[in-house]
Structure 1
């Protein structure tokens, strides 16, 4: 079975984005050789990259014009965009899912293969969390307190028990945490 993995970078106070769309300046505090290597390793293990519409549009705009190993991988790996409003998906190797995204992703998970990563995509991630589809949460924490922005874990999430799998301390002060979901008892 494939595994579905959330990958996101957040601030210490839990924001994945500032007050404006694509306000990700805090990413510069954790980006470096260690996260670059992690990104390359994750992309080499990926069967699919999965995005909500807003993240897809931003990623497509950036990566189709970027160069380097990460850009090459981002452009060649099969991608899925979940959107009820897009009429087509033009980024190379992208499939559009308009209806029943959890059901479609569940079908992909049931197949043999590697990993499927959801990058960013907080609204999509919330739905997938509530449907218990994530096998692992990989969260990079930037050593920044932003004070306001869009929280990754917003109200309306189904309670979850998580077990810490690993911690990677980065030389720039950030950390990467890996968690797996445990069966939920009374929380």
Structure 2
């Protein structure tokens, strides 16, 4: 059975919206504040996560973002790894995915994700994908939440746990610094010990 891992880079106040400036959000491109060793350390963590993944799960907008930015054809170890991974896209409108090893999950999102979890052994990593992430959290369909926290606050914007109908308890299972000023936090569902 697979393990759904939500992996997000967020601001200090938990915003993950428009980190590179593609959506026209007021604070678009906030991720570009990371420079030098912090950015390199972040990329190393993300690459290691891709190496450990067995599949990717994403919403249509995130999928299209990766494709539009050339991840399907870039050179390098990280793009190569993402190309070889099976990619599952939740969408009711995407008909012909162009990125190699991609498949569209149609129908009820929760049912499709549950089937995917039963059919894949190992980690199924979810990047971005705001509405999908919120549905996974709302319906307890995730096994781990990984956050890399950047050292600045935005004050507004979409958050991965921004719209849920009831309180959720999470248990911190790992915490470490990344670079000079980032923090990596790993949570699992459940009551804190």
Per the normalisation by structure 2, the TM-score is: 0.86
Q: Distance in 1 between matches of 2:22 and 2:123?
A: 30
Unpaired runs of 5+ residues, structure 1, are none
Q: 1:94 aligned to 2:102? A: yes
Q: Runs of 4 or more off by more than 6 Å in structure 1?
A: none
Change in 2 beyond 3 A, CA 1:70/1:20: closer
Higher mean C-alpha deviation, range 125-134 or range 34-43: 34-43
Change in 2 beyond 3 A, CA 1:98/1:158: farther
Matches within 5 A, 1:1-187: 1-18=1-18, 21=23, 23-26=28-31, 28-29=33-34, 31-62=38-69, 63-111=71-119, 113-182=121-190
RMSD: 2.2
Change in 2 beyond 3 A, CA 1:60/1:100: same
* Offset at residue 43 of structure 1 (A): 1.2
Unpaired runs of 5+ residues, structure 2, are none
Change in 2 beyond 3 A, CA 1:74/1:112: closer
Change in 2 beyond 3 A, CA 1:175/1:47: same
* Offset at residue 163 of structure 1 (A): 0.5
Aligned length: 184
Change in 2 beyond 3 A, CA 1:129/1:28: same
Q: Distance in 2 between matches of 1:77 and 1:117?
A: 10
Q: Distance in 1 between matches of 2:158 and 2:149?
A: 15
Q: Does structure 2 retain, via aligned residues, the 8 Å contact 1:27–1:142?
A: no
Q: Does structure 2 retain, via aligned residues, the 8 Å contact 1:129–1:157?
A: no
Change in 2 beyond 3 A, CA 1:83/1:158: farther
Higher mean C-alpha deviation, range 157-166 or range 24-33: 24-33
* Offset at residue 37 of structure 1 (A): 2.4
